[in-house]
Amino acid sequence: MAKIGTRSPSLALLLGSLLLVTLLSLPPAGQCQMYSALSQVQEAQGGPYIGRGGRQRFVAPIKSQDGKRRTWLTIYNGYGEKPGFASARVILTQDTITTMGAAEPAGYVITDDSTFRVRSFCTKEVTGELSDNSNLVIDVDGPRGAQLAWTLSALAGPSLSPLNPSSALSGRSLILHGDNFSLNPAGNTVTFNGKSGKVIASSRTTLTVIPPESLDQGSASIVVTVNGVASNGFSMGIRGPVPILTSLYPDGGPPGEILTIYGRNFARPLQNNLVQIGPFQANVLGINNNGGLRVEIPDWGTASTGLSVSVISNGIPSRNNLTFYPYPHIFVQGSPF
């Protein structure tokens, strides 16, 4: 078996530069693919394989670090002032045929004898093609000193910055900072202790997310998943849940009467609920079996227009407000009593 050449720092630097150039300039001709514009990380590389003149076969083991990610293989035929081979047939296979002139191994053809007539590098997606026993069988023909190398790159996973908010309110939007997020909000999945939040806006480095309303107060582990690849975890304190108001009964009345505020996520014990009707604080009396918060209508003075009703539970303001009307009487189905 021919030995794989030792990498040099200059080769690694050049291959990295060529990867960047490929993003913008790979010709669309032939069987090679346009290099993905998605952010990627290099997982492995091989070469240079140096020609002795004439035909040769090289065999190199190749393995992906994470089989779940999209993966691309790029073959470089010559680089810098180093010439390439006249032809280079590269096959991704599980066979280990090393003898030149033996039967061609079965597998996925990455490049053939005509590939490098019009280009010096070729990229193909190899997602799902790699196993623990995969090899690259490289058959080349060319002058002494010709060189060939390859790199294996995988889709870079999302990452969460440690410089994110230390706490958030369940049900209230927050901004997460990191990298490699999908530009499409729907392409990002954000979980809080395994429960999915709602992504409402995204960029490559930020996500605007609404945590699930059902999150309990405490610590939550946050993970972002993009294209099936999960980020590092990030712990954040959760305050909540956020009280949500749905209706009032009645919708108005005189001071001293009972008003029931319907909604969810009210605090227990009762003293942890603060109810405001306009600028006036209402005395909280109890919570019904159906979740209604019963309060005494405060003296609303000379008010004549609708007053905003809000609730603060466990120090967390309600997501929305309702409108209370300062009627001198309570009306039910149009009749005062």
In the predicted model, what is the mean pLDDT of residues 307-312? 96
pLDDT of residue 122: 93
At 300, give phi and psi (nearest 5°): -95, 10
> Would you say residue 137 lies in a domain?
yes
The answer, yes or no, to whether residue 220 has pLDDT greater than 80, is yes
CA distance 126 to 63: 11
User: Are both 126 and 166 inside the same structural domain?
Assistant: no
SS3 9: helix
- DSSP-derived secondary structure for 147-160: EEEEEEEEEPPPEE
SS3 272: helix
- Residue 5: which pLDDT band, with cuts at 50, 70 and 90? very low
pLDDT of residue 253: 93
Tokens representing residue 201 in the block: 């806006």
| Burial profile 269-282: b = 16 or more Cβ within 10 angstroms, e = fewer | eeeebbbbbbebeb
- Residue 209: which pLDDT band, with cuts at 50, 70 and 90? very high
pLDDT of residue 322: 97
- Residue 34: which pLDDT band, with cuts at 50, 70 and 90? low
User: Are both 140 and 204 inside the same structural domain?
Assistant: no
User: Are both 277 and 209 inside the same structural domain?
Assistant: no
Which of 140, 155, 170 terminates a domain? The answer is 155
The sign of the dihedral angle between the CA atoms of 209, 321, 244, 284 is positive
112-133 tens-digit pLDDT: 999 998 889 999 999 889 988 8
User: Are both 277 and 319 inside the same structural domain?
Assistant: yes
Q: Are strands 167-169 and 234-239 parallel, antiparallel or unpaired?
A: parallel
Residue indicated by tokens 């369940």: 170
From residue 85, give the alpha-carbon distance in Å to each of 4, 108, 135: 16, 20, 20
The answer, yes or no, to whether residue 179 has pLDDT greater than 80, is yes
The answer, yes or no, to whether residue 20 has pLDDT greater than 50, is no
User: How many domains, the chain?
Assistant: 3
The answer, yes or no, to whether residue 92 has pLDDT greater than 80, is yes
> Would you say residue 287 lies in a domain?
yes
User: Are both 104 and 55 inside the same structural domain?
Assistant: yes
The CATH number assigned to the domain holding 70 equals 2.60.120
pLDDT of residue 331: 58
CA distance 132 to 312: 57
Which of 128, 155, 182 terminates a domain? The answer is 155
The answer, yes or no, to whether residue 305 has pLDDT greater than 60, is yes
> Would you say residue 1 lies in a domain?
no
pLDDT of residue 30: 42
pLDDT of residue 35: 54
CA distance 209 to 309: 27
The answer, yes or no, to whether residue 6 has pLDDT greater than 80, is no
Where residue 159 falls (left for φ over 0; alpha for ψ -120 to 50; beta otherwise) is beta
User: Are both 326 and 201 inside the same structural domain?
Assistant: no
The answer, yes or no, to whether residue 23 has pLDDT greater than 50, is no
276-304 tens-digit pLDDT: 999 999 999 999 888 899 999 999 999 88
43-81 tens-digit pLDDT: 899 999 999 999 999 999 998 877 677 889 999 999 778
- Residue 2: which pLDDT band, with cuts at 50, 70 and 90? very low
SS3 297: coil
pLDDT of residue 13: 46
The answer, yes or no, to whether residue 88 has pLDDT greater than 70, is yes
Which of 155, 175, 207 terminates a domain? The answer is 155
User: Are both 94 and 168 inside the same structural domain?
Assistant: no
Residue ranges making up the domain that contains 234: 159-239
User: Are both 224 and 264 inside the same structural domain?
Assistant: no
- Of the candidates 1, 3, 19, the one whose C-alpha atom is nearest the C-alpha of residue 150 is 19
Mean pLDDT of the chain: 84
Which residues, 6+ apart, have CB-to-CB distance to 231 below 8 Å?
157, 158, 159, 160, 178, 223, 224, 225
The answer, yes or no, to whether residue 336 has pLDDT greater than 50, is no
The CATH number assigned to the domain holding 235 equals 2.60.40.10
List the helix and strand counts (H, then E) for the chain: 1, 28
Cα-based torsion angle of the residue sequence 313, 314, 318, 324 in order, rounded to the nearest 10 degrees: 30
The reply to whether omega before 255 is within 30° of 0 (cis) is no
> Would you say residue 199 lies in a domain?
yes
User: Are both 256 and 228 inside the same structural domain?
Assistant: no
155-173 tens-digit pLDDT: 888 999 988 888 888 778 8
